[in-house]
Chain A
Amino acid sequence: MANSMAKSFLQAAATEEVVSPLRVVQIEGLVILKIIKHCKEFSPALVTGQLLGLDVGSVLEVTNCFPFPIREEDEEIEADGANYQLEMMRCLREVNVDNNTVGWYQSTILGSYQTVELIETFMNYQENIRRCVCIIYDPSRSNQGVLALKALKLSDSFMELYRANSFTGEKLREKNLSWMDIFEEIPIKVSNSALISAFMTELESDTPVTQCDYDRLQLSSNPYMERNMEFLIECMDDLSVEQQKFQFYYRSLSRQQAQQQAWLQKRRADNMQRKAAGEDPLPEEDPSNPIFKPIPEPSRLESFLITNQIANYCNQINGVSGQSFNRLYLMKSLHDN
């Protein structure tokens, strides 16, 4: 009896849990308000904070959050930051808040959030938590009347590659991974407790038109578009720098190839002579010769990120243009009437 129990326990421990894929992130209204407030207060500086909640099946529930203080570049502040985090978690635990870290949030300007630091933070979190998510909030789009909130997650295949730290062309081709596969966006659902919704409905009765409608119908979107284009152009410059690195690599690789061939020819010619003279042939390879040293292929990570970024900007431009079209046509028809 005990044996079979022990075995089944072992078996249970040995079988891997089936991890259901993350399908939806469920956020509470409280968290959204807190994120908005924090990012707005400190904009244009970029801020971050921690998300707390529960991981249930295919839904990741985010029930609370707290902001991180802005870190200055100082050694002792590092320990302070960790202390602050522990302190906040402990205090929140005492008032029955779920103090389970499920990710972090950060603010961004015009969607320029794809950096290597983001990926590294993801990897750091991923080591401790099975599923973590990053929420990106863009306060600069809120005066266009849009709530720009996104939940991101690194895709699994990308994570494996990153751990192996190899971004060469063949590996990527093997996995069929392109720049679109780095980040996965997860749909967000918002939930509120009944008490809060009762309060809110009472505090602000349903007016036919709210302030955000006025914002959306505003005709001038030029400054926003201009900034977007500026960012886009900068990114293109970065991308072209990366491309040049690649070109340089290819060129030097082919030059090295040519040198190797030449050397090989010479060796063969020498060998022929030596054979004719009756001596031992020299080996056809010489690893100590510097022209045989393999040149490292530059990592493609940066270019992927930049490409992602550019795609993001393009999407944003598309979205805003769509809105502007709507507005212009609306104006036209109003005027005609």
Chain B
Amino acid sequence: MAADDHTVLQLSTPSTANLSAKVHPLVIFNICDCYVRRPDQAERVIGTLLGSVLPDGTVDIRNSYAVPHTESAEQVALDIEYHHNMVVSHQKVNPKEVIVGWYSTGLGVTGGSALIHDFYSREVPNPVHLTVDTGFRNGEGTIKAYVSVNLALGDRQLAAQFQEIPLDLRMVEAERLGFDILKTTAVDKLPNDLEGMEVTMQRLLALIDDVYKYVDDVVEGRVAADNSIGRFISDTVASLPKLSPSVFDKLVNDSLQDQLLLLYLSSITRTQLGLAEKLNTAAQIL
């Protein structure tokens, strides 16, 4: 199998075929924040991505920071010392976070990006390049991730090509909590427990209403019946445990009483505290 000049362009095989990336929303926040704060003459922001590589090969991107850089038509200069300092500082806090790639804002990949990617590939074997389109050029904010794949013609390395890999945006539970807060531009007050409960119950009610309406529509023939949805609904209704009313009442009442007990205890404690306070400071000797 002698290499011939007319052989087909070979893409080196995907050891990266099943590579995908997971991004935490914190990273997106960081990038947007850095973009908003960029110095006036810079068009885009470049920075490093930190995270870890999971055992099944996916890259988990957890944190990021911006790196000052200057860019002109011909060359790109990156502040390498700053980059190293930040990595060291971040690793002091969380030694498991290592460099996994880099990001830049703006759609598409430019020539300068290839140089930067090259620099990063010297630090990490296979860096991931993330682009975040802050300009919303396609009418939506696109976030894409690329890895570099080597193009070889026979034995000769020709060029490196940026190949897109699937991206997954994950959110941890605690972050989901704050999610409503994070979506709007301003929230006046953090909801406390009872208000949150209220919101949740309203949502539940809305859901139940939707299901009701759907079932009514199907029965009256307004909407075509979908068997899978029907099965879902019947499963849900059947999952309510079959308890006789007396047993159920007893359960509910027992829990109620437990809660009431705790409430009573805590109220007593608080009264006690108030009393002790008065006694302590009011006591006068002589």
Contacts of B86 in A (CB 8 A): 91
Contacts of B66 in A (CB 8 A): 95
Q: Is the CB of A195 within 8 A of B134?
A: yes
Report the bound CA distance from A313 to B240 in whole Å: 34
Contacts of B204 in A (CB 8 A): 209, 213, 217
Report the bound CA distance from A142 to B93 in whole Å: 23
CB distance from A105 to the nearest CB of B (A): 13
Report the bound CA distance from A241 to B192 in whole Å: 34
Q: Is the CB of B283 within 8 A of A192?
A: no
Contact with B along A299-326 (1 / 0, CB 8 A): 0100100010011011101111111111
| Contact for A335 among B32, B79, B248, B263, CB less than 8 A | B248
Report the bound CA distance from A250 to B140 in whole Å: 73
Contacts of B63 in A (CB 8 A): 37
Interface residues of B in 116-162 (CB under 8 A from A): 134, 136, 140-141
- A254 in the interface (beta carbon within 8 A): yes
Asked if A323 meets B197 with Cβ closer than 8 Å, knowing A30-B33, A84-B92, the reply is yes
Q: Is the CB of A147 within 8 A of B190?
A: yes
Interface residues of A in 98-127 (CB under 8 A from B): none
Q: How many A-B residue pairs have CB under 8 A?
A: 250
Contacts of A208 in B (CB 8 A): 203, 206-207, 210
Q: Is the CB of B270 within 8 A of A335?
A: no
Report the bound CA distance from A311 to B181 in whole Å: 28
* Interface size in chain A (residues, C-beta < 8 A): 99
Interface residues of B in 160-192 (CB under 8 A from A): 169, 171-192
Asked if A178 meets B285 with Cβ closer than 8 Å, knowing A29-B181, A37-B26, A213-B200, the reply is no
Asked if A209 meets B26 with Cβ closer than 8 Å, knowing A195-B134, A199-B32, A225-B262, the reply is no
- B9 in the interface (beta carbon within 8 A): no
Q: Is the CB of B186 within 8 A of A192?
A: yes
| Contact for A209 among B140, B207, B270, CB less than 8 A | B207
Interface residues of A in 65-86 (CB under 8 A from B): 67-70, 84
Report the bound CA distance from A212 to B193 in whole Å: 12
- A201 in the interface (beta carbon within 8 A): yes
- B38 in the interface (beta carbon within 8 A): yes
- B7 in the interface (beta carbon within 8 A): no
- A44 in the interface (beta carbon within 8 A): no
Contacts of B180 in A (CB 8 A): 210
Q: Is the CB of B29 within 8 A of A33?
A: yes
Interface residues of B in 59-75 (CB under 8 A from A): 62-63, 65-66, 68
CB distance from A294 to the nearest CB of B (A): 12
Stretch from B13-21, B106-114, B251-259 contacting the other chain: B251-259
Q: Is the CB of A37 within 8 A of B172?
A: yes
Report the bound CA distance from A142 to B263 in whole Å: 21
Contact with A along B29-46 (1 / 0, CB 8 A): 110111111110000000
Contacts of A281 in B (CB 8 A): none
Report the bound CA distance from A173 to B280 in whole Å: 10
Contacts of B35 in A (CB 8 A): 195
- B194 in the interface (beta carbon within 8 A): yes
- B89 in the interface (beta carbon within 8 A): yes
B interface majority secondary structure: helix
- A3 in the interface (beta carbon within 8 A): no
Report the bound CA distance from A331 to B253 in whole Å: 12
Q: Is the CB of A324 within 8 A of B255?
A: yes
Contacts of A34 in B (CB 8 A): 26
Contact with B along A205-219 (1 / 0, CB 8 A): 000111111011100
Q: Is the CB of A29 within 8 A of B29?
A: yes
Q: Is the CB of A91 within 8 A of B280?
A: no
Q: Is the CB of A319 within 8 A of B259?
A: no
Q: Is the CB of A179 within 8 A of B277?
A: yes
| Contact for A212 among B93, B177, B184, B283, CB less than 8 A | B177
CB distance from A61 to the nearest CB of B (A): 12
Report the bound CA distance from A199 to B108 in whole Å: 18
Contact with B along A153-175 (1 / 0, CB 8 A): 00000000000000001001100
Contact with B along A30-42 (1 / 0, CB 8 A): 1011101110110
| Contact for B174 among A36, A84, A325, CB less than 8 A | A36
- A152 in the interface (beta carbon within 8 A): no
Report the bound CA distance from A68 to B94 in whole Å: 10
Report the bound CA distance from A4 to B138 in whole Å: 62
- B24 in the interface (beta carbon within 8 A): yes
Interface residues of A in 4-60 (CB under 8 A from B): 28-30, 32-34, 36-38, 40-41
- A2 in the interface (beta carbon within 8 A): no
User: Which of B38, B172, B245 is packed against the most chain A CB atoms within 10 Å?
Assistant: B172
Q: Is the CB of B259 within 8 A of A321?
A: yes
**Can you show 19 pairs from A to B with CB atoms below 8 A apart?**
A30-B33, A33-B25, A40-B174, A96-B37, A146-B177, A147-B181, A147-B190, A188-B189, A190-B181, A191-B185, A196-B182, A199-B141, A200-B28, A200-B182, A204-B169, A208-B207, A307-B276, A332-B248, A335-B245
Q: A residues touching B (Cβ–Cβ < 8 Å)? A: 28-30, 32-34, 36-38, 40-41, 64, 67-70, 84, 87-88, 91, 94-97, 139, 142-147, 149, 169, 172-173, 178-179, 187-204, 208-213, 215-217, 225, 229, 232, 236, 243, 246, 250, 253-254, 257, 300, 303, 307, 310-311, 313-315, 317-328, 330-332, 334-335
